[in-house]
Amino acid sequence: MTKEEAIALQAAVDEILALAVEKQSQIRGAVNWGSLLCVDVEVLDGVVAVTVEGAAPEAVDLQIFLAGELERRGYGSIRVRTEW
């Protein structure tokens, strides 16, 4: 993944996070809706992973929402991690 692709992916995640805020009533889990931010994009063993700050590591609904939206937008299978 090039630096430009990583920047574009990070921007896409932040756009999707804004959409998640609008749909927060449908997304369960411990999430600080006022401070969600994509803080990292990396490739681990050939798998692209993004890290989102502002939600508990077990915020599975948010992770699934983000991964699904990324795939719908053509990014393929992206691993999503959440952390405080």
Tens of pLDDT along 32-79? 999 999 999 999 888 999 999 999 999 999 999 999 999 999 998 899
Task: State the Cα–Cα distance between residues 30 and 8, nearest whole angstrom.
Answer: 27
Predicted local confidence at residue 4, as pLDDT: 95
Mean pLDDT, residues 4-32 taken together: 97
Predicted local confidence at residue 75, as pLDDT: 94
Predicted local confidence at residue 25, as pLDDT: 94
Residue 84 confidence class, pLDDT cut points 50, 70, 90: very high
Predicted local confidence at residue 33, as pLDDT: 97
The residue among 73, 47, 77 whose CA lies nearest residue 64 is: 77
Domains of the chain from N-terminus onward:
3-83 (3.30.300.20)
